[in-house]
Structure 1
Amino acid sequence: MHQTNESDIAGASEAILVTGATGNVGHAVVEALLSAGRTVRAAGRDRDAVSKMFGDRVETVSLDFTDPSTWTAAFSGVRQMFLLRPPQLGKPKKQMLPALEFAREQGVEQIVFLSLQGAEKNKVVPHAALESWLRTSGISWTFVRASFFHQNLSTTHLTDIRDRNELVVPAGRGATAFVDAEDVGAVAAAVLLDPHTYSNKALTVTGDEAITYERIAQILTAELGRPIRYAQPGAIRYALHARRRLVMPWGMVFVTLAIYTTARLRMAAGLTQSVRDVLGRDPISFAQFAHRKRGLLTPQSDLGHLPS
């Protein structure tokens, strides 16, 4: 569990930059840092959206990794940052590394990077290229390698579950180690608050259980009071569904396909104790998440008929 000490990289008055601040993980990082009394510079492509979410509790700044005109305001005067790869940026060497090199020149000394479980073995995913650069950057790095987020089911796959009563992923019967974005954000914040303990380390962050998508559908069925079917499309059918029905950009289609293929090949079930080790508490379970999000996953017309 985090304990602040005098050897921390930055003083409590120095702002910590959080990229992707309006996302599920970024939001959790910001809130955890604010709760610890730290000053936060919250960044997103839409500065107004950041301001709307956090008000005057943070410094708000616009950041586009592909637009150098936004870099100075984002990176100047900060030594620590939480880095999230925007999902639409599938070519990090071209689309992100120039900005990170600029950040290093501006004096950024520590980067906590939201990576992916197994990124060290899966060179196809964009996270691998960013990890490789960070290892040789001279910056103190920590990789927070998250397993599959609970929240992907309430964002990416929301319309399938809410409007079509189905879960369409090509994961076969393989189990997946799920994790809650709240837990991942809390771990990332703890690393920023105690940088020396976690310097140049990789933390794989999972929940307590690896479960199949068939079991996910059963939990959702019980929680939502209506049958949720688990469809198991092949790669081509999934890709077309993701593109046409879920309106994913092609880059995200291929990244998610790679992730689900890993599950289908029984390679996504590894569990760790990182949440307990870093935070000193149990991770949030999928059943707890489903209960918390039941209103969001229920059609508006059915909200009054949820099971008690």
Structure 2
Amino acid sequence: MKGKVLVTGFTGNVGSFVGKYLKEAGVNFKAAVRNVKRAEEKYSNEIEFVEFDFEKASTFDKALEDVDKIFLMRPPAVSDAKKYVKPFIEKAKEKGIKQIVFLSLMGIEHNPIPPHYKIEKFIVESGIPYTFLRPSFFMQNLDTTHRFDIKENKDLFIPAGKSKSSFIDTRDIGEAAAKVLIEDNHLNKAYTLTGSEALDYYEVAEIFSKALGKKIIYSNPSPLRFRKVMINRGIDKTFANVMVGLYMSTKMGMAKKVTSELEKILGRKPTSVEKYIQDYIDCWK
């Protein structure tokens, strides 16, 4: 690979691992961030940071300088894909980008409501070779968004009903993204990425209970109660609505699919929920 990879969303749950695995493979990359100074203070000075903001088109040219490929993530705050993401894709086309690896959503090909659906269409229409990664529910949501309730209230406070989810570790997604950026046989393909099994949240609560040595329950709140509690905690209403929408999809059984596509890309079994909890156990103790 002659040029560099631009990694957007570097400070998030997936982008940081994409960077980690690219670095381990000896691939040059630029980490796209909104605040370079803050990123340099937080992360290794061996990483090349570049200012990038979907809402500031003036940052596009420098971010794409010397870049061949892009790992693309949509920030949660960017909901208008046509206004903010499409112009970046058009600029990437202008710059001759050879591949966009886009972090999408499982089942998005049948769900035109989330912005990921439009972004996939914009990429295809641009003619830039692509790889779409469509992962299931992130395990790491349990040590970020839901960390407080698990640690302080001993509760999986999630409105997902009795449905199952094929949980996936973002470390695995990051490794898969790095592989499809490096290898040549993934162009113009879409992969549905899941863990090896689908579990309901009662089962996940049991796994937590065994790992932490204390009883963790799954209270299964109503979507309206969940939304109200999240907003009262200071979460933006728009993001709270997105969360409710995602869990409603889960409740309807849209997150239970299990595929072997992640295993094929990685050449190994996906990380289990048990392994993830052990690795992150200090988050909830």
TM range (shorter): over 0.9
CA distance in 2, matches of 1:109, 1:252: 33
Secondary structure of 2:14's counterpart equals helix
SS in 2 for 1:57: coil
1:155 alignment counterpart:
144
TM-score by length of 2: 0.95
Classify the secondary structure of the residue corresponding to 1:30: helix
CA distance in 1 between counterparts of 2:202 and 2:231 reads 23
Q: Does 1:55 align with 2:44?
A: yes
> SS of 1:56's equivalent?
coil
Contact map agreement 1:154 1:293 (CA 8 A) in 2: yes
1:283 is aligned, of 267, 270, 284, to 270
1:139-154 paired onto structure 2 within 5 Å: 139-154=128-143
The residue aligned with 1:272 is 259
Over the aligned positions, Cα root-mean-square deviation in angstroms equals: 1.4
Range 67-76 or range 203-212, more displaced: 67-76
CA deviation map 1:114-137 (0-9, x unaligned): 011111111111211111111111
Aligned to 2:53: 64
1:23 equivalent in alignment to 2:23: no
Q: Is the 8 A contact 2:6 2:31 kept in 1?
A: yes
Contact 2:50 2:62 in 1 (8 A): yes
> What is the number of residues matched between the two proteins?
285
> Which one of 181, 201, 218 corresponds to residue 230 of structure 1?
218
Query: What is the distance in 2 between the residues matched to 1:51 and 1:193?
Result: 26
The CA deviation string for residues 53-98 of structure 1, in whole angstroms up to 9 with x for no partner, is 5423322111110012222211122120100111111221122222
Identity %: 37
Gaps of 5+ in 2: none
CA apart distance, 1:203? 0.6
- Name which of 227, 252, 259 aligns with 2:239: 252
**Structure 2 counterpart of 1:302:** none
Match status 1:116 vs 2:105: yes
- Secondary structure of 1:132's counterpart equals helix
Say whether the 8 Å CA contact 1:78–1:107 is kept in structure 2: no
Higher mean Cα deviation, 130-139 or 257-266?
A: 257-266
The answer to whether the 8 A contact 1:32-1:186 is kept is yes
After the TM superposition, which parts of structure 1 deviate over 6 Å for at least 4 consecutive aligned residues?
none
Q: Which residue identity lines up with residue 65 of structure 1 in the other structure?
A: F
Please, which runs of 5 or more residues in structure 1 have no aligned partner? Answer: 1-9, 299-308
Name the amino acid aligned to 1:181. Answer: T
CA offsets, 1:128-175, max 9 Å, x none? 111111111110111010100000011111111112221111110000
Report SS of the residue matched to 1:24. coil
So what's the TM-score if we normalise by structure 1? 0.89
Work out whether residues 161 and 228 of structure 1, in 8 Å CA contact, stay in contact via their aligned partners in 2.
yes
User: What is the one-letter code of the residue matched to 1:85?
Assistant: R
For residue 249 of structure 1, report the CA deviation from its aligned partner: 2.2
The corresponding residue for 1:198 is 186
